[in-house]
Structure 1
């Protein structure tokens, strides 16, 4: 998909980023930190994340804020690589944006089900808004599942979620929504990898995607058993 000159330039940038990634020793050093501020201070002085924490006082942060900063930095790093190569114009490479869109939709469904006013807006990653084709801000206006579906009507997510009927109280089956959204997401990702890349590249990408699916299924299985007391057969 890339000519050799462009590929070399991208590989060089990726190698530079990879060279600043955390090593096993870095993680061991972080384990010695006993509090979130201490861990944040360690990140603020690391080559990989110092820019992300440049204007942050480590002594005032909490775990959720640190996590949000790390996610934003990783997202922005990926988008910079895509813009450098103009990969953001190709269908496969918007997978990270679609993943974030699904997270936002599920967050809104959880907000509706729980009756938590404004929690969706508080958790909405602002850095995704300008890249998304979904009206992420408009979703906050939905007071029930049917209203959310109307807002999503002109998106691919509507066809997936409209098959799930709303419950009597205006909420929706969160687990079913998550299952269908993520299944559609990974199915599309695997199909795109198969058709838009060479046989060798497609095989490598498919293996990586499958490992991610395995990890997600393991996490979900644990969550269903530990927190919702599902039986092995139900899982």
Structure 2
């Protein structure tokens, strides 16, 4: 009864917010539009954007500003739910929030590696990060070198994993991004038993365990097929989390001599048994399908658990991805059918 009572108000709030997410019909209408200005004007009339974007002048916005505004709707909705949540629910949200910190850090690092010298303006996100983060956005966005960027992370949990990079070789942007992702994944898995109990713990294990396994499968396959990486280098990329994939299966997949052997090992895994049509070239497709299915199914079964929060954030973030894709397609003048096809791939 305690869990039911603690989640009943939040579940009602999230269901109302879910009802304002974009529908397939709305994506079809957007795909028919001829300009980015039309898309923004259209979104301003939709329930999920009307209040947030009421004062925007769509004719004066450029693409970069629109993308930041779309991302900021995630932050704004996160803040709404956070204000409504109790301390226990905020525990999960604080853990989940780290993905937004990592996204910002990757943007900053990308700017440094691009060497364009252009400033990265994240001032739109400043108030949100001031409330939830220890990152100094101003310092990070002004960092001119990787060394300066890492130094500006002192006092945060991200300094240690990033400061160890580059001591023996010349790392790439990919190396820093992967280090952040691995830290995030390992941190969630390490903290789950301390932070969650009973149903919430079961849902966290199922959702994140599936996510980490499927990501590892993708990374192994892509590393072997497209980058021809040695097994030792592949192991360094992988999430340390093991859920339904055993250490033995991971080893056999990494050590597979060709795609056919990789496929044979994949066919013995729990994921092939659960998804009979799963093949190496469909790993990304089935990762998205499995995450969506798990979150939607579990949120329906257990609306008074942490999975309800996770499911909403997942769908909101994918809405922003789809809208960003749609805007890019329209900007380049793609046909409506092609635009819709790209939207559906997200």
TM-score by length of 1: 0.79
- Mapped contact 1:109–1:145 kept (Cα < 8 A): yes
Q: Give SS of 2:158's match.
A: helix
Counterpart position of 2:177: 178
Aligned-residue CA RMSD (Å): 3.4
**1:46-195 mapped onto 2 (5 Å cutoff):** 46-87=46-87, 90-121=90-121, 125-130=125-130, 131-165=132-166, 172-195=171-194
Matched, 1:14 2:11: no
1:186, 1:166 → 2: CA distance? 23
Please state how far the C-alpha of 1:35 moved relative to its aligned partner: 2.0
**Equivalent residue pairs, number:** 230
Structure number, greater radius of gyration: 2
Higher relative contact order (CA 8 A, sep 6+): 2
2:38, 2:11 → 1: CA distance? 34
2:215, 2:128 → 1: CA distance? 22
- Mapped contact 1:164–1:172 kept (Cα < 8 A): yes
Q: Give SS of 1:121's match.
A: coil
1:108, 1:216 → 2: CA distance? 24
Q: Give SS of 1:119's match.
A: coil
1:221, 1:66 → 2: CA distance? 35
Matched, 1:24 2:24: yes
Q: Please give the per-residue CA displacement for 1:154-191, whole angstroms capped at 9, x wherever unaligned.
A: 111111011112699xx852111111111111221233
**1:219-230 mapped onto 2 (5 Å cutoff):** 230=227
- Mapped contact 1:167–1:173 kept (Cα < 8 A): no
- Mapped contact 2:122–2:141 kept (Cα < 8 A): no
Matched, 1:209 2:182: no
- Mapped contact 2:150–2:159 kept (Cα < 8 A): yes
Counterpart position of 2:270: none
1:88, 1:147 → 2: CA distance? 36
Please state how far the C-alpha of 1:44 moved relative to its aligned partner: 0.7
Matched, 1:200 2:199: yes
Please state how far the C-alpha of 1:52 moved relative to its aligned partner: 2.0
- Mapped contact 1:109–1:172 kept (Cα < 8 A): no
Please state how far the C-alpha of 1:127 moved relative to its aligned partner: 4.1
Please state how far the C-alpha of 1:109 moved relative to its aligned partner: 2.1
Please state how far the C-alpha of 1:212 moved relative to its aligned partner: 5.1
Counterpart position of 1:5: 5
Structure 1: runs of 5+ lacking an equivalent? none
Q: Give SS of 2:137's match.
A: coil
Pair 215,54 (structure 1): closer, same or farther in 2 beyond 3 Å? farther
Structure 2: runs of 5+ lacking an equivalent? 235-346
1:50, 1:180 → 2: CA distance? 38
Please state how far the C-alpha of 1:47 moved relative to its aligned partner: 0.8
1:51, 1:166 → 2: CA distance? 49
- Mapped contact 1:146–1:166 kept (Cα < 8 A): no
TM-score by length of 2: 0.56
